[in-house]
A and B are shown apart, each in its own frame.
Chain A
Amino acid sequence: MTSEARDNGEHGGAVIDACVFHEWPTTTALAAYLPDGWRELLTEPGVFVLGTPIYPNYLASESPITSYDALGEILADGRRERVVLSYDKGILATTNHNHFVGQAVTEAANRWTEEEWLTRDERLYGLVAAHCSLPDEAAKEIRRSGANPRMVGVLVGAATLGSPLGHPIYHPILEAAAEMGLPLVLQAGVDATENALPSPVAGGLPATAAEYRSLSWHAQMAHLNSLILQGVFDKFPTLRVLLLGAGALWLPGHFWRLDYRFGVTRGDGRWLKKRPIDYFDRFFVSTFRLDRPTQDDRLAQALSVIPGIEQRLLYASGMPDHDADEVPDALSGIPASWQAGVLFDNALDFFRWPGESPNSRNQSSQEEAALA
């Protein structure tokens, strides 16, 4: 589409879809990519490699996308110029209580995506799944798989080491992502599996999936706090994070409160170069499962208290999830002047696309950061 048409906010043009979920049908589909030994064991019937979600997704799609051909309908209308593939269930391999299984399956999934999806269609891009239980191994994998120019970000798996993501123990992962110019994607639900002993929700585990779906942002909040307060964005100034699948409207009150609380104590976070509120521009959000006001015309009023939100909101369909939104619905309540950004430009900015070298991305981001 012409950039003029985009500037006019017409959404008849090309779209970047920041999240379509693909899945492997059974572990056998990963067989070619599993190491010897694990292959034989993990492809036996009855072996579970994925962590079990605490809250079954009763509304889960009955037709997960398990092969390229199944993407047919989604790609058919021609609007999607680029599709970023994530995992709905597959990322739960990172919560396997056996670290070695988690690592083997996560790496196999990355290779499977590279070989069997990204090679099939130029429109498809992937996320390097990161198995956080073994940070050094995950860092190696980010450098390996992240060298594939069609991998555009890092999908962070569950933080299973007893602290949220800003803790230094995870810094090898963050460092590798930053070095490769890859942003992070934090997906709702990944921390809510039976192996997750620290609760993924404040106040104790809810009894129902419906509660959890309204509270799933708690884990993202904890990671966000930790990333900011542990100085991750001073250490890795180019790192950015997409908060996917748990809404966005908890953010404003949260960053006001965080900023205030930070000032109360002497000692915590003295290492930070800026105030917590100044790091909120590292975080992006998406239209997938956006916690919209019941009245559409209030969405802009609510969102616009977030500085720069029009540059940090991405369209993500979430197909084939029950909550998936195609373009007209996803844009409901969003001002026309934001639409070109939401549908294309912001994702263009956020992910590392082919042709962008990590060094040039990092350099220009550092320059930006220095001017800020």
Chain B
Amino acid sequence: MYTGPLIDTDIHHQPKKDADLLPYVPLRSRELVERMIEHRAFLGGLRAIPTVAGGLLRHDAYPPDGPPGSSYELLAEQYLDPAGMTRCLLTFNVGEYGSHLNPYVSADLCTAANDWNVENWLDRDDRLYSGIVVSGQLPDEARKEVLRLADHPRMSCVIIGGSPLARGLGDPLYHPIYEAAAEVGLPIVCHLGVSVLQSGKAIVGNASTFAEVNLSLATAGGQNVTSFIVHGVFEKYPQLRVVMNEYGVSWLPPLLWSLDREYPLLRLESPWVKKPPSEYVREHIRLATQPLETTSDGRELIQFLSTVDGIEDLLCFSSDYPHLTMDDFAFVSKVLPDSWHDKVFFENARDVFGWHDLSGATRRVLSGATA
């Protein structure tokens, strides 16, 4: 059992209610957002996930006064303390405020989320870190938002809060965001559902079941990785790195092979792709592990992943707490080879988020551990 320092790159926190964000919404959108809240409109515009019977949140993760993920105390008691968490990344629900179809509301919801986050969570516990949520729709405003909060010591990344613009995330229209992130030395975090409008519910047609929707959303991970590479984002911003949250991992090997095979055509269509695509992935892309695509002991998954040498360098542990489909640390540590543990549970995330203050950290389990 792995006993070293533990980093979780995907924990979903959220306000107890949408109205909690209202005081932080810039005046430009405040009246409209107030009306949206009264009408119980979904602040992310379009739901990435259809409503399913029983919901998608752990039944035991509801605090008395809000949805799962809205209580720091319950998060600490139920998860951070027993796991001996060293540090974690709070990523909002999906960070979907950027998906709202009204670009100005979208940008203002992101600003509100960020300010709410700073004031209500980030100084409560030194394990809590997060990212600057931005809307993809107004890249210049997003850039300003990044620069506004980049100095906050707990803001360790830029979270793309969605974009309904139906372009892969590497498209030039988003480059001002990446330029800003690169300038301030922060990686990008891209979470499942961020391309809600153009992806998941409708590859070749409307999906009829939750499983289909979820799988379509997951498939956008590979599309966005491809997009980053093809549009030369990593040539333009050589320091930039991207973390892909909740897309899973098993799609990566065949994507690397396919893209490398397409290199001649890529060079024709995108001459700024100067290296084989798999090299860009190794240098610039990291994948959060959840959901590990296995329901059994994972032997076949590891056999499959091991076809790529050094794939363990690309993976960062994530739980997806408090979703029903979260990965339990104990389960993941049994599935992954022991030789991968230091990297996946600690070093890779430490490096991509720049948490070098953690070198030499140890892990303290603070209460009755089940791990």
Interface residues of A (CB under 8 A from B): 58-59, 159, 161-164, 166-167, 191, 196, 198-211, 213-215, 218-219, 221-223, 225-226, 229-230, 247, 249-250, 252-254, 256-269, 276, 291-295, 298, 301-302, 304-305
B219 to A, closest residue via Cβ: A202
Task: Report chain B residues within 8 Å CB of A254.
Answer: 215, 250-251, 293
Interface string of B183-225 (1 = CB under 8 A from A): 0000000000001001110111111111110111111101110
Task: Report chain A residues within 8 Å CB of B301.
Answer: 253, 256, 305
Identify which of B204, B211, B223, B303 contacts A164 (C-beta below 8 A): B204
B304 to A, closest residue via Cβ: A305
Query: Is A214 a contact partner of B204 (Cβ separation < 8 A)?
Result: no
Identify which of A211, A265, A295 contacts B226 (C-beta below 8 A): A211
B259 to A, closest residue via Cβ: A214
Known contacts A200-B203, A200-B204, A203-B220; A265/B250 CB under 8 A = no
What are 15 pairs between A and B in contact, CB < 8 Å? A159-B204, A163-B208, A164-B212, A202-B195, A207-B230, A214-B262, A225-B207, A225-B212, A247-B254, A256-B301, A261-B214, A261-B325, A264-B56, A268-B52, A276-B211
Task: Report chain A residues within 8 Å CB of B168.
Answer: 203-207, 211
Interchain nearest-CB distance for A124 vs B (Å): 30
Q: Which 5 A-B pairs have the closest CB atoms?
A: A253-B250, A203-B220, A203-B223, A249-B254, A204-B198
Judged by a CB distance under 8 angstroms, whether B257 is at the interface is yes
Interchain nearest-CB distance for A130 vs B (Å): 15
Query: Is A257 a contact partner of B210 (Cβ separation < 8 A)?
Result: no
Known contacts A225-B211, A229-B208; A199/B248 CB under 8 A = no
Query: Is B210 a contact partner of A213 (Cβ separation < 8 A)?
Result: no
Query: Is A229 a contact partner of B226 (Cβ separation < 8 A)?
Result: no
Task: Report chain B residues within 8 Å CB of A223.
Answer: 204
Query: Is A201 a contact partner of B210 (Cβ separation < 8 A)?
Result: no
Query: Is B210 a contact partner of A268 (Cβ separation < 8 A)?
Result: yes
Known contacts A250-B254, A253-B293, A293-B307; A211/B227 CB under 8 A = yes
Selected interface stretch from B63-71, B87-95, B263-271: B263-271
User: Which of B168, B226, B258, B278 has most chain A Cβ within 10 Å?
Assistant: B258
Interchain nearest-CB distance for A188 vs B (Å): 12
User: Which of B198, B230, B254, B291 has most chain A Cβ within 10 Å?
Assistant: B254
Add 10 more A-B contacts to A200-B204, A202-B223, A206-B230 (CB < 8 A): A159-B205, A211-B223, A222-B207, A223-B204, A225-B211, A264-B52, A264-B56, A264-B324, A301-B304, A302-B307
Task: Report chain B residues within 8 Å CB of A249.
Answer: 253-254, 257
A299 to B, closest residue via Cβ: B307
Query: Is B211 a contact partner of A261 (Cβ separation < 8 A)?
Result: yes
A219 to B, closest residue via Cβ: B204
CB contacts under 8 Å to A, within B238-292, are 248-251, 253-262, 265-266, 268-270, 278, 291
Identify which of B209, B250, B255, B262 contacts A268 (C-beta below 8 A): B209
B52 to A, closest residue via Cβ: A265
Query: Is B230 a contact partner of A293 (Cβ separation < 8 A)?
Result: no
How far does the alpha carbon of A205 sit from the alpha carbon of B195 in the complex, in Å?
A: 11
Task: Report chain B residues within 8 Å CB of A218.
Answer: 203, 216, 219, 223
Identify which of A210, A222, A267, A298 contacts B216 (C-beta below 8 A): A222
Task: Report chain B residues within 8 Å CB of A229.
Answer: 208-209, 211-212
A206 to B, closest residue via Cβ: B168
How far does the alpha carbon of A263 sit from the alpha carbon of B54 in the complex, in Å?
A: 12
User: Which of A164, A211, A258, A294 has most chain B Cβ within 10 Å?
Assistant: A211
How far does the alpha carbon of A162 sit from the alpha carbon of B205 in the complex, in Å?
A: 5
Task: Report chain A residues within 8 Å CB of B204.
Answer: 159, 164, 191, 196, 198-200, 219, 222-223
Task: Report chain A residues within 8 Å CB of B53.
Answer: 265-267
